[in-house]
Chains A and B, each alone.
Chain A
Amino acid sequence: EPEVTQTPSHQVTQMGQEVILRCVPISNHLYFYWYRQILGQKVEFLVSFYNNEISEKSEIFDDQFSVERPDGSNFTLKIRSTKLEDSAMYFCASSRQLWDTEAFFGQGTRLTVV
């Protein structure tokens, strides 16, 4: 069964460092998303991506964040100058089409900023 794959599963980084979280969406999906979930809190939408550009972003997704699809398979989230409050689970998701927001999630990357 096709699945969304995320790497690494756990990332520990020093405050102020840059991290790149990687995702391989399901191959025939066209829409890609990043969400995050701080421990004990709601899942929060960060950004959606379609046709090699951002289609929607939340107020959380400021200049500290960027996304890229560097090749035909990978979808990355870069977080610059990490802060303690960036510690969270980061989930990548993909879907076939926007109306059909039946998104399938990867297993997540647990980011810990120390």
Chain B
Amino acid sequence: QKEVEQNSGPLSVPEGAIASLNCTYSDRGSQSFFWYRQYSGKSPELIMFIYSNGDKEDGRFTAQLNKASQYVSLLIRDSQPSDSATYLCAVTAGNNRKLIWGLGTSLAVNP
């Protein structure tokens, strides 16, 4: 059973701080890794994707991938109250034909 695991939280950070979200996955064949943001009752919204080991930065967001450790993370710099949401990690299954999702980490950014 291929799995994606995330700490469900809630993770609480003060406004302006760095929020660090983590995700581990079980399928060594996974090739693509995604972070989605989901507000309550809404659909997932793509924040970032990463394919290669290392860091990928986009504005206040940095995704980090370590395939050897089967670990992917998302850093949010200068956190804002509007970043308060559930962050979903999703990885492609080994055959690259579908996404396997984590349960998500709830983030609360306090003003």
Chain A residues within CB distance 8 Å of chain B: 33, 35, 41-45, 48, 55-56, 58, 89, 91, 98-99, 101-108
Chain B residues within CB distance 8 Å of chain A: 32, 34, 42-46, 49, 88, 90, 92, 95-104
Q: Are A48 and B101 in contact (CB under 8 A)?
A: no
Q: How many angstroms from the CA of A108 to the CA of B104 in the assembled complex? A: 18
- The contact sample of 12 A-B pairs, CB cut-off 8 A, is A41-B103, A43-B88, A43-B101, A45-B101, A48-B97, A55-B97, A91-B43, A99-B96, A101-B92, A102-B46, A105-B45, A108-B43
Q: Are A107 and B42 in contact (CB under 8 A)?
A: yes
Distance of B87 from chain A, by nearest CB (Å): 12
Q: How many angstroms from the CA of A53 to the CA of B49 in the assembled complex? A: 27
A45-B99, A56-B97 given; 14 more Cβ-contact pairs under 8 Å: A33-B98, A42-B103, A43-B44, A43-B99, A55-B97, A56-B95, A98-B96, A98-B97, A101-B32, A101-B34, A101-B96, A104-B46, A105-B46, A107-B42
Q: Are A48 and B98 in contact (CB under 8 A)?
A: yes
Q: Are B101 and A44 in contact (CB under 8 A)?
A: yes
Distance of B101 from chain A, by nearest CB (Å): 4
Tally of A-B Cβ pairs under 8 angstroms: 51
Distance of A110 from chain B, by nearest CB (Å): 8
Residue of B nearest to A108 (CB): B43
Give the residues in chain B near A101, CB-CB below 8 Å: 32, 34, 92, 96, 99
Give the residues in chain B near A105, CB-CB below 8 Å: 43-46
Q: Are B43 and A103 in contact (CB under 8 A)?
A: no
Q: Are A106 and B102 in contact (CB under 8 A)?
A: no
Q: How many angstroms from the CA of A73 to the CA of B32 in the assembled complex? A: 28
Q: How many angstroms from the CA of A57 to the CA of B49 in the assembled complex? A: 23
Residue of A nearest to B103 (CB): A42
Q: Are B43 and A106 in contact (CB under 8 A)?
A: yes
Which of A45, A48, A106, A108 is close to B100, meaning CB atoms less than 8 Å apart?
A45
Q: Are B102 and A107 in contact (CB under 8 A)?
A: no
Residue of A nearest to B48 (CB): A102
